[in-house]
Structure 1
Amino acid sequence: MPPSQEASKGDIHEVDLGDGRTLFMTCAGSGERTVVLESGYHESSDIWMLTEDGADRSVFERLADRYRVCAYDRPGTLLLTADAPAVTDRSTPVSMPRAGTAVIDDLHTALARSGEEGPYLLVAHSMGGLLARLYAQTYPQHLDGVVFVDAFPVEMPALLGKKWKAYATVLNATGGGSSQGYESIDVEGTIASIEASDPFPDIPIGVISKDLPFAGLPADPVGFTAEDLENAWAAAQPHLVALRPDTPHLIATGSDHYIHVRQPDLVEAMVDIVAGRSVR
């Protein structure tokens, strides 16, 4: 991508996970609700503090105006604000690949040990949406809402069929795949965990979807086409909307996959909508 403008960060937590590891978390603002930001695949918390395409303030800054907002680094993700993206060690490195259950257990422990008060409203982009869904179905009592920002759908392998393996190879290699410790998540195992979990809980959600093609794909991907990916992604978005009745769904006109960077005001608006629908 990379985005072009860095926003100021808040209070830094080096949260002790209790097993010799720490998780890096940045929090700012205050309010009656704590919003937790879950980044996309391979991306650190930096992504929520960046803007592009003329947006004047990041999602992190906007939400901190009236909520307590926290973003964190999953191990092995990329520092996007460096001169060249590099794998961060702000959160203790771990062996890869990781199960989705291990990822959400880290977040659950970190939130409990950070002193940040719940229940939480999760805002999740791309692969973070898959993790947020697993978190919601595993720890429903700790959430009071989820905002899915062009989120990775459970249905993607089925919709892509025989082309899924080829796409998964590209998905896992994006960015800095040759770096030691680079994030790798067992996507199929995470989907299986979601399907084996309790149904999605009775909490409000909101969905935001892109309307422009993905950027950054290989020019001639092997085993699938850009059209295959776009068709499957579009076909899966209604499944996210259908997780709860009367789910608000915004289309980010003129935005590609990075809606939270291109149009942070849409994410801010959807958080307000979902927060207003939750009962505390």
Structure 2
Amino acid sequence: MTAFQETLSADGRVCSYDRLGAGGSDQPEGPQDYDSVGETLTGVLDQVAGDEPVVLVRHSMGGLIAGRYAPDHQDRVAGLVLLDSTSPTAVADVSDRIPESDTGPAGELRAQTLAIFAGENPELLVFTDGEVTSAGDIPVRLIQHGQQYLGEVPEYGEGLEEDWTAGQHKWLALSEDSELSTAENSGHYIHVDEPDVAVAAIDEVTTRAAG
């Protein structure tokens, strides 16, 4: 996100961090859950923002973490921009869509994805599904991919795309001021493929949060 962050920094203060197990940060001491990664985020906010509220801009798994964090930290989070965020029911989405008995490429994708969700990832984060709870009326803008890359999965691609879109709609429950849009020319990395779309959403949320 370096180039994207540099673009944003022209008009405001932007900070990023590596979660435990990623980039230059220390390795976690053991498996992590949403509470433990949230504690790390709180520590970062204490250092860079003090008591000031912030707008969180998160992508993919980071969006899942932010979506779980914001409802319990309404004093810290003034707005959210979630870029193609992982579904709040990601584990069930994959488990139910692709049968365990599949021995082809889709079955391999299922096994690999569920292993990641079970904690076989650099952050040792264990994914758990759950209902989306409200963070009040903070501005929340969700942007999903328009280029159907999940549709390339043999036999189950169309269903995976449907599940992904359904997950984005579930995140709308985060706030009374939530909106979902599609970056028509983007794959999963919207901030790379169509940074202007992401920047416009961030500008809107930041302005609304400040007002």
Establish whether TM, by shorter chain, passes 0.5.
Answer: yes
Q: Give the AA of the match of 2:209.
A: S
Question: Which residue number corresponds to residue 104 of structure 2?
Answer: none
Write out per-residue CA displacement over residues 230-278 of structure 1, whole angstroms, 9 at most, x where no aligned residue.
1210222222234333533331111111101111111110001111222
C-alpha contact 1:207 1:248 (8 A) present in aligned 2: yes
Q: RMSD over aligned Cα, in angstroms?
A: 2.9
Taking the aligned partners of 1:138 and 1:169, their CA distance within structure 2 comes to 32
Q: Give the AA of the match of 2:134.
A: P
**Equivalent of residue 146 in structure 2, options 192, 203, 211:** 211
- The TM-score, its normalising length taken from structure 2, stands at 0.80
Question: Which residue number corresponds to residue 229 of structure 1?
Answer: 160
C-alpha contact 1:136 1:201 (8 A) present in aligned 2: no
* DSSP 3-state at the match of 2:85: coil
Q: Give the AA of the match of 2:197.
A: L
1:103 is displaced (CA, Å) by: 0.4
Taking the aligned partners of 2:122 and 2:26, their CA distance within structure 1 comes to 12
Establish whether residue 184 from structure 1 lines up as the match of residue 138 from structure 2. no
Question: Which residue number corresponds to residue 35 of structure 1?
Answer: none
Write out per-residue CA displacement over residues 83-107 of structure 1, whole angstroms, 9 at most, x where no aligned residue.
xxxxx4x111113431111001111
Instruction: Show structure 2 runs of 5+ residues with no match.
Output: 101-106
Percentage identity across aligned positions?
A: 30
C-alpha contact 1:73 1:91 (8 A) present in aligned 2: yes
Taking the aligned partners of 1:225 and 1:253, their CA distance within structure 2 comes to 21
Establish whether residue 261 from structure 1 lines up as the match of residue 189 from structure 2. no
Distance 1:107-1:157 versus aligned 2 partners, 3 A rule: same
Higher strand fraction (1 or 2): 1
Distance 1:229-1:108 versus aligned 2 partners, 3 A rule: same
Matches within 5 A, 1:162-201: 162-163=96-97, 169-171=111-113, 182-188=122-128, 191-192=129-130, 195=131, 199-201=134-136
Instruction: Show structure 1 runs of 5+ residues with no match.
Output: 1-47, 50-57, 78-87
Count of equivalent residues: 200
Distance 1:256-1:133 versus aligned 2 partners, 3 A rule: same
Write out per-residue CA displacement over residues 156-175 of structure 1, whole angstroms, 9 at most, x where no aligned residue.
3444553478666423667x
